[in-house]
Structures are given as C-alpha cells and as structure tokens.
A and B are shown apart, each in its own frame.
Chain A
C-alpha cells in the first residue's frame, strides 16, 4: 500500500490537482486499486451559491477522469519514482468509452480499479472502473497516456504532422 506521501513522491501533480489519496493494491504491470476521498472543502465546491441544491455538489466528472488517469500513471510507473534523468512527463493523450452511471458527492470515497492492458511505443493503454462502495459510478473502456517531454517557453510554430503533436521532438517513434 502507498500512502499519500508516497503518491506525492511519484507523481508531479500537486495540490489541488493531485487526485489520488492512497494506493490500496498494486500488481506491477497489471492492475492498481486506488482511492480518492471527496470532501466538501475541495476547491471545486468553492463559490457555490447559498442554498445550492444537492446536484451542484456532484464531483466534477472531469476530475474523476483525472483521478483515474493518475491512478493509471501510478500503475505505469510501477509505484516508483521515475529516475532523476527522465525528464519526460506522463500525458493524457486519448480516451474512449467513458461511461458515467452515477454521481459522487462530498463524503464519498472514489475507488479506482485500473488495469494496464498494454504498453506500446511509450504509450500505455489502461481500462477499468470507478466505484463508490458497491455503486459503480464510471466505466473506462480505454485511457491512453504517453510519456513525452514538454518544452518550457513559447510554443513552437505548429507543425501539423501525421504523428502526435509534441512540444519537442526527440527521436521518438
């Protein structure tokens, strides 16, 4: 099991976009189970009007996807920090078949069950579900992440190419 402190050493995201609280189980190269507790004190609930209805407190589905994606990243990274010389960042590249079946609210704990389906050419394919207790709230058919360098500084001029758009080309396939 990895505590939040350990998650923080592995992933580059920081508050308030570090969206994995704890890793419950990790089978390297295969699957991971993580949790993220939803609290009323999260920034996404800041600024709601007085008397806001219950549905306004539904946890944003965009952040639910991000939390799942970070869980997939932890799995891809084998629950370990990347070597110091590796300046590549894991980037969310694509997704397919995300189905949301229920909402999650403050007090709920999101539980992500993520499977690593394959890794090809520095591209990871993951799938899985997100649960709150025994309620499934999301199903993820495919989540695709890539590992690449991101240049700091002004954007280079666009180079529309058949390949994935990258900030800096470094002889990648």
Chain B
C-alpha cells in the first residue's frame, strides 16, 4: 500500500469512529449526511480529529464540502501540503 492508501485507511478509521460505524461500513463516496445520518456536529468533530491526529487544520469554510471520505481525504492532502 502506498503512503496515501495508509493515510486513507487511517482516515477511514477516524471518520468511522466519529460516525459510529465499523471502518468497513464506510465507503469512499458514501455521503455522510445522506447515508450515515451525520449532522454538522459530526462534520466539525471530524475536522477536530484530523487537526489532532495529522496536525492539519482544514478551514471551517470548507465544512459544507466535506460530504464523504474521498472529499475529506482530498481536503487533508490539500492542506497538508500547504501547511508543510
């Protein structure tokens, strides 16, 4: 697995924990709100956990776009590079 695959899987575990699912139940593109009954507090919790684990701060303004795991992963990659 590449480094990015590892990170995606770790991200899956974190997001699954917040959404109270098993990691294998969380698909890459499943919409958090539509498919997993998430609300905005859960989205904020995901941001906070990413900040804590990866030391990467994703701006709150991007919250509405964080609709699925793939989008979260992309945001993480985007801001990780920017923040070095």
Interface residues of A (CB under 8 A from B): 93-94, 117-118, 120-121, 123, 125, 142, 144, 146, 162-164, 173
Contact = CB atoms under 8 A, between A and B. Distances in A.
Nearest to A125: B48
B40 A164 contact: yes
Interface residues of B, number: 13
Contact of B60 (A120, A142, A162, A164): A120
B74 interface: no
Contacts of B48: 117-118, 120, 123, 125
Interface of B: 33, 38-41, 44-45, 47-48, 51-52, 60, 63
A164 B39 contact: yes
A93 B52 contact: no
Given A117-B52, A125-B48, A162-B33, A173 B41 contact: no
Majority secondary structure of chain B interface residues (helix, strand, loop or mixed): helix
B39 A146 contact: no
A163 B51 CA distance: 21
B1 to A, nearest CB: 28
Majority secondary structure of chain A interface residues (helix, strand, loop or mixed): strand
Contacts of B33: 162
4 cross-chain pairs, A with B, having the tightest CB-CB distances, nearest first: A163-B40, A118-B48, A125-B48, A121-B60
Contacts of B47: 120-121
A141 to B, nearest CB: 10
A26 B52 CA distance: 21
A164 B52 contact: no
